Each structure stands twice: as C-alpha cells, then as structure tokens.
Amino acid sequence: MSEMWINMGPQHPMTHGLWNLRVHVDGEMVLDVDPEMGYLHRGIEKISEDRHYNEVVTLMDRCCYVAGLAWEHLYILSAEQALGIRPPERAEWIRMMSEEFQRLGSHLMWYAAFVQDIGLMAPFLYGMRDRDLVLDLFQSYTGARMTYEYMRVGGVRNDLPNGFTDQARKVCDWLIDRFEEYDRLCLASAIFHKRCDGLGKMSRADCVAYGVTGPMLRSAGSKRDLRKDRPYSAYDRVEFDAATADGADVTARYLVRMEEMRQSVRIIRQALDWLDKNPGPVMAARVPRWLGAPYAPIGNEGYLLKRNYPKGLGLSAIEEPHGEAQAYIVNDGGEHPYRVKFRSPVFANISAAKKYLVGYRIADIPPIMGSVDVCVGECDR
Amino acid sequence: MSASSVTAASGAVKTPGTELPVVTQPGVPFIEIETLRAKEFLPAAKEALSAMIAERGREDLTQPVFNWAGRNSLFPLHWGLACCAIEFAAAFGARWDAERFGVVPRSSPRQCDLMIVNGTVTWKVAHKLIALYEQMPEPKWVIAMGNCATGGGPFRTAYSVVPGVDKLVPVDLYIAGCPPRPEAMLDGILKLEELIRERKE
Amino acid sequence: MEAEFPALVSARLGDRVAAVEVFPGTLGRVRFRADAALDVFRSMRDDLAFDHLSMIGGIDWVDHREVFYVLWSDARRAYVILSTDLPAENPHIESATCIWPAANWHERETWEMVDIHFDHHPDLRHLLMPDGYVFHPLLRSFKLHEPEELEVKTRNV
C-alpha cells in the first residue's frame, strides 16, 4: 500500500507554532505519529540560574506567550515558598483576577485559532476582537499587551488604576453575551459537527496514565481542577464550578473551554467586588532589598556579598489555561535561584499524541491538534 | 520625495512642453490608475503605458510597474515562531485589519514575497528557516520583527538561540519591541513599501 | 492524612525509603534508595494511589546529582515528591515509563539536560536539542555565553 512518513511542520498552518508532527500514513489513515519538539527551546531554565528572582518574571511572560500572567503567577508562588515571603491579601486577589482574565485571553485566542482550523473564518475575527478587549484591560494596569512583568516576589508591582473595576465589569458583561454568540456560530453549524464529533478520543484512564491534564482531562469526565482540589491564592474564597463534559472528543473540549470562560467571568466578578471593598497594600512590607534592585547600586559594594538567607525549596502548581503547570525552585541561599524546573501542561499533552491521533484520518489532525491548544513556547521553554 | 530620486537615477531627460500631463514623476501614472474604476482600468493602463513607452523607453517603466504591484500586494509567509506571532495574528484581526494594505498571509513559501520572522530563532530551526527563504521566489524581502529576531532579545546569551536572524538571511527591515504592537508591525510594512518604491535592479 | 503519611510510606516500603521530609503544600518529600527505584514507583502507584506523574527533573549538585519526581493522587488530592541522589560519575536510574507512560518525555528531557541515564527507557534520544548535540546544558559546568564573547563567535557565521 501507499505507506509513507509525512512531516507536518515546522512551518504548517496546523501547528500554531514551531513544532513538527511526523505522521506515518497509509493512504489517508494515520498509523503512527512522532512529535518533534525543541524548535523554540530558548533555555529559559538555564538563563534563570543567572538572574535575580524578580528578573525571572521577564522570562515567564515569554515562556507562555498566550498566558503570561498565569505563568508569572506560577513562578511567583513557587519563589515565595522557596524564599519564605508572604504577599498581602489584596495582591493575592489581584493575582487571581489576573489569572482568570488571562484564562479568558488564552481561551479566546484558542477559539480564534481553532475555529479557523476547521474552516469557519468569521469566528477568528470575533475571537480576536474580544481578546483585544481583555488585553486593553491588562494594558490599563500593567502597561503592556502581552509581556507584563507585573508580579513581584511579595506582591504585585502596582495597584489597579481608578475606575478599573467598572471597566472590567463592562468587559465581563460584553463577553458573557458573546459566548452565546460563539455557541450559535459553532454548535449550530453542521460543518463544525462533521469535523469535530467523535474525533481525538482519549479515555480518562489514558489521560491519567499519560499525564494529560487541563480541559483535555476534564472533557473525559474527570473533575480534577487544581483551583478546586488544591486551592492557591484566593481560590478557596470564591464560588465556581469545575467545567466538565463527557465524550472526550474535540466537541467535548470545545464545550469545556466555553464553560471555563463562563466560570472565569463568574470568578472575576466576585474578585472585582472584593477588590472594590478592600483597599490595602499590594506589596509585602518586609521584602529584602536585593529582590527589588537587579543591579548593585554604585558605592554599595557590600551588596554583592553573598547574602545570608535561609535555604528553601518551592513547589507550586496552578491550573493554567492549558492544564496543570508546576514550578520547582531550589533556593540555595544565593542571589539567583540554584535550579528552576517547570512542568508545562502542553509538553505532557503533546507527548500523548499517539493516543489521540492514531486511527483517524490525516484531515482530522488539524481539528484534533487545535482542540489540544498547543502553545509551543511553554512546551519547549 | 522618494520618487524624484528614481527620476534622477533613470536619467530621463525632460524638456519643457513635451511632458505628458499626468506624468510628474514615474510612479504617478500608476497611482492615477489605482483611483480608476475597474472597467476603465485596462484601457487607461494600456494608454498610459504606451504613452510612457513611446516617451521614455521600456526599461525605465517595467521596474516602477513591478514595484507598484509588489508593494501593494505583499504576501507574508504564514508561520509563527514565538510571542510576536500572536501580535502578528492580532494585526490580521478585526481591530487592525492588515489586509486593507494588501497583506495576506499565505501558507506556502512559493506564494510569498515577504518573510516576517516573528520570534526567537533557534539553531534547530535555522536551516529550516533558510530552506523556506530559498523557496520563496524573487523578489523577496525579510522583516525581523521584535527584539529576538533582531538580536536575540532576552535570550541572547542562551545556548540554543541565534543572536539575530541577520546571521542567517539578509534582513531588509527591523521592528523594535518585545513584542512590537500590531501598529508597529503595520508601520514596518508601510516602511517596507517605501523601500520597494525606491527599488532598482 | 498528612500526619500519618510518613508512617504509611515506611510501612509499605520499609528500608527502601531513607526518610520522609516535610515539604509544605505536599504530603512530603520521600527520599528513596536509587537501586530500589522500580519497587518504590510500583508501590507508590498501586498501593498509595499516586496514579498521575506530573514531572521529573534533575538537579546538578556538582558533587552528586539529584532526580526528583512529583506525583499527584486523585484519591488523596495531594502531591508527593520522590527524590533520590545519584553519583556524579555515571548517574543512572531505572526508567519509570513502565509504571507511568507519562515519564517518557520527561526522562528524555532530563537525560538531555542533566545527563542522567534512564535504564530500559524505550526511546532515549534528543527531544529539545538537535540530534548529535553533545552538551548537557543544565549542568553547572556548562556556562552561558557572555555578550562580548558572542560577538566574536558569530562574526564569521
């Protein structure tokens, strides 16, 4: 028969980034796949060993470029545990709100890219339009659209500007209405169902064995959501539900992400109410000075002496838009972290590609990989 | 003006009184054509071209025609390297709508004349980038978008990163920013159109 | 559950575990003996219900290397960290791919970055760096470029 290996990537409209999916096909049928990663490996873990703790935040934005604030949050939680610093409560709520807005931004980007993959062109424009509203909010309090450098060890850089909460509520109201519109565009479309139903099945047992997390796992019926199971920041003080679906296919993942966006809006509204009522400091009072100053002030040579600070380890885990992300930081008492190790959910989700791609047709690969929501930046680091 | 330099370089001698009414500089007749309605386009183009050829010779004219066509339909290669690719995509979204400048991303390098290197280039992808560049037909241009493509950016010292894509392919235009906003990318494309307007083979 | 976990681990694993250290936010940091790795992994998954492997990482402590595993249990809703020390000369440990298939890529990355060999791994080859890359970047002896040095190195490329 006509068996052959095909390279889909590194430059391919399906990949949404730089990676290569080697596909072994027999005619149309996929017999085997071999993802080839590393085209965007920038050595973030190595560079972090040469940086001060607060300077690593710069790399975190670029690490996952569609969910920068979530990765800043992940890193900061771990660094605070390793250094033994506690942030004030208002900073925790701002971080939680930022992460939820980032989840909206990431899922809207996913919606735009995924729906374009299956052949519907207008939703791309809708998704990008609504994502820009979220980015405008980020810009109003961090100053940037994508690379924020907003969180710091011990808090966040600055408080929210005046009038932010009102503007944010308006955006939430707008988005909630748009989600209905998205569902009408997709779920009412026969093209959508013909291209998505029953594709990319991955059972719950397989997901657990292969380390697949996030919306892919929850689309298989599991309720695991680290915001619920292992609450961090202020997630134990807000009400929300973990979005789940049955079916474990592409449509189920679409439904899970749509429901997650609605739950994010629900969390954000509670956070905005809390932030309105509780002004306060956003930076811990006693943070070592060397954390804030990346370079030695002139005339202060003692700054460069090795500091005498307790050693520690930090492990943080957050429910990132793509799944379960972790950071493990070794603090050996020096100015730089001794070792920083990240766990990327996309890394694990792609590593199981054999399980959800083999047995389908080659034309099914774009919708299936679109439903995985690949962000190569965090996968390769 | 940029176009006047083309006139000077082409060496066309203009004597007073014999000048065509629409021709004040070589690019202008085509700008006139742009404003015509579609059904009048071909006859008007034929007329203007034959008048120009009779006046100034074929060689002086083909280059502005190619430049005019090329700069108004830049087809960038559709690929995303890193963070800047998201802003690249945002520029094609509803708010900025880059397609109004004739910029339409194409997925095959053989249909493209512009490569926007939007992100960090690693040594692993370097030879693939060169292969894509070589598959693009002439004339072709390269824009280094963002600090990583310009000089390595925050990852300049890393072991796996090419410190600037100009080590691999010739770059025509650099856009600063980490990442550049979509406005900056559109501004870069307009600047590139200025460069193409002045292009001479 | 956190209080009784160390007793549970030592009851199941006996002397294959050296100590269970306190690690805030998890059930503990279990220091196990590297030569009993497979027993520890199997017991963790089957007896203690840690069915999800989150990540594997390696640390180069110059005089020795450390490899750590982060596990999650849906039943316990908690993390546990397994950690063991390996010698700096020829560090190797049994692969966990037969227990958790998720370990495959994590072990490839750890081998590539920290030079820890995983015995009986089905497919131990380069993942992030190109094939034939001879260095292990996350070792402490591997230094990053200085910016000035970079200019000299790339001038003739």
Report, as an integer, the average pLDDT of B48-67. Answer: 71
| C-beta of residue A200 within 8 angstroms of C-beta of residue A247 | no
DSSP state of B116: E
Residue with tokens 């605070």: A80
| Contacts for A198 with CB less than 8 Å, ≥ 6 apart | A249
**Of all residues in chain A, what percent carry a pLDDT higher than 90?**
25
Supply the pLDDT for residue A266: 92
- Lowest mean pLDDT across B87-91, B112-116, C11-15: C11-15
| C-beta of residue A196 within 8 angstroms of C-beta of residue A363 | no
Query: In this predicted model, what pLDDT tens digit does every residue of A188-229 receive, in sequence order?
Result: 888 888 888 888 888 888 889 998 998 999 998 888 888 888
DSSP state of B24: S
Tokens of A170: 């308006």
DSSP state of B106: B
Return d(Cα A21, Cα A212) in angstroms, integer: 18
The chains found to touch A (3+ Cβ pairs under 8 angstroms) are: B, C
Supply the pLDDT for residue A289: 59
User: Looking at the predicted structure, is the pLDDT value of residue C67 above 90?
Assistant: yes
Interchain proximity B159–A113, CB inside 8 Å: no
CATH code of the domain occupying B83-197: 3.40.50.12280
CATH topology of domain A40-297+305-380: Cytochrome-c3 Hydrogenase; chain B (1.10.645)
| Contacts for A312 with CB less than 8 Å, ≥ 6 apart | A81, A82, A83, A84, A331
Q: Strand, coil or helix: what is B201?
A: coil
Q: Does C157 contact chain A (CB < 8 Å)?
A: no
Low-confidence stretches of chain A (pLDDT beneath 70): 1, 286-309
Chain C interface, best mutation among A208, A212, A322, A336, by max C CB count within 10 A: A208
Centre a 10 Å sphere on the Cβ of residue A356 and count the other Cβ atoms it contains: 27
Q: Does C51 contact chain A (CB < 8 Å)?
A: yes
Report, as an integer, the average pLDDT of C55-61. Answer: 91
Supply the pLDDT for residue C156: 45
Task: Give B167's contacts in chain C (Cβ within 8 Å).
Answer: 154, 157
Report, as an integer, the average pLDDT of C29-48. Answer: 87
DSSP state of C146: P
How does the average pLDDT of chain B come out, rounded? 76
N-terminal to C-terminal alpha carbon distance within chain B? 20
Length of chain A: 381
The domain spans of chain A are 40-297+305-380
Report, as an integer, the average pLDDT of C3-31. Answer: 82
Q: Which domains does chain C have, with CATH numbers?
A: 5-154 (3.30.460.80)
pTM of the model: 0.85
Supply the pLDDT for residue A346: 92
Residues of chain B with CATH 3.40.50.12280: 83-197
Tokens of A275: 């932030």
Query: In this predicted model, what pLDDT tens digit does every residue of A237-285 receive, in sequence order?
Result: 999 988 888 888 899 999 999 999 999 999 999 999 999 998 888 877 7
Return d(Cα A335, Cα A357) in angstroms, integer: 45
Supply the pLDDT for residue B79: 84
Comparing alpha-carbon positions, the chain A residue that sits nearest to C60 is A339
The kind and range of the H/E element at A334 are none
The complex scores an ipTM of 0.87
The kind and range of the H/E element at B5 are helix B2-10
| C-beta of residue B107 within 8 angstroms of C-beta of residue A13 | yes
Q: Does C73 contact chain A (CB < 8 Å)?
A: no
Top-confidence residue, B116 or B18 = B116
Comparing alpha-carbon positions, the chain A residue that sits nearest to C105 is A351
User: Looking at the predicted structure, is the pLDDT value of residue B41 above 80?
Assistant: no
Amino acid found at C14: G
Report, as an integer, the average pLDDT of B83-111. Answer: 87
